[in-house]
Structures are given as structure tokens and as C-alpha cells.
Amino acid sequence: MTTAANMTMSDSAARRILATREKQANPKLMLRVTVFGGGCSGFKYTLDFDDQMNADDVTLEKNGAIVVTDESSLPFLQNALVDYEQTLMGSAFKIKNPNAASSCGCGKSFAVEM
């Protein structure tokens, strides 16, 4: 297991992960961020809660909260911020990714410049 040195997590994302861990009564719960080919713009994010680590996982920790991703997703997440936003329209985890050249209105799909 290695550390995702070039990713960051906001305080609000850390608080939400910890709150979900407490609500689920599962101290191993982590937010898993994965990047897959597909979506409307070429790549898409999948965010899920998980309590299992895989051999190729990379972690990011803040205040006890953990975000985990895999080594193949990491290049697409370099310098990205994992955030949690609450608005009048709803609340959700968001990936603020400087590598995304464009993104779709759904907020889960993005394209990169090659």
C-alpha cells in the first residue's frame, strides 16, 4: 500500500467519510475513487464506500478519514481534490481535477488532454 502524495482531501470530505463510518458502525470504511474509460467525455469516476484494501491500492488520509484508489486510476487523479459539497440542490462528493480538460454536466465524466 502506498500513499497518494499528489492528491488532497478537503476537511468537509474527511468529515463526511468519518460520519459515514460512524453511521455504518464500520471503522474500516473508506471512500474508494476509481477512474474507468467510458462516460460521456471519455473517462468516468466511480465513488463507493469500501472496507477492503487491494494489493494495488493507494491511500490518502486526513484526520483519520481515508480515500483509496488503485494504481491505474492514480495518474488521472494527480493533484486532484476530493471534496464534499452541500448545496440547496443536494450534497455529494466531488472530484476537482486539474487534469480534466473538459467535463460533462453529470460531474462524473471527464476528458483529458493528450
Instruction: Give the position of cell 476528458.
Output: 111
Q: How far are the Cα atoms of 29, 30, 32, 77 from residue 26, in angstroms, in the given order?
A: 6, 9, 15, 26
Q: How buried is 90 (Cβ within 10 angstroms: 0-12 exposed, 13-18 middle, 19+ buried)?
A: exposed
CATH of domain 2-107: 2.60.300.12
pLDDT in tens, 34-76: 988 775 657 788 899 999 999 999 999 999 999 999 999 998 8
pLDDT in tens, 79-105: 899 999 988 888 999 888 887 765 555
Is this structure's pTM higher than 0.85?
no
Q: Domain map of the chain by residue range? A: 2-107
The four Cα atoms 24, 106, 81, 21 give a dihedral, to 10 degrees, of 0
Per-residue cell: 21? 463510518
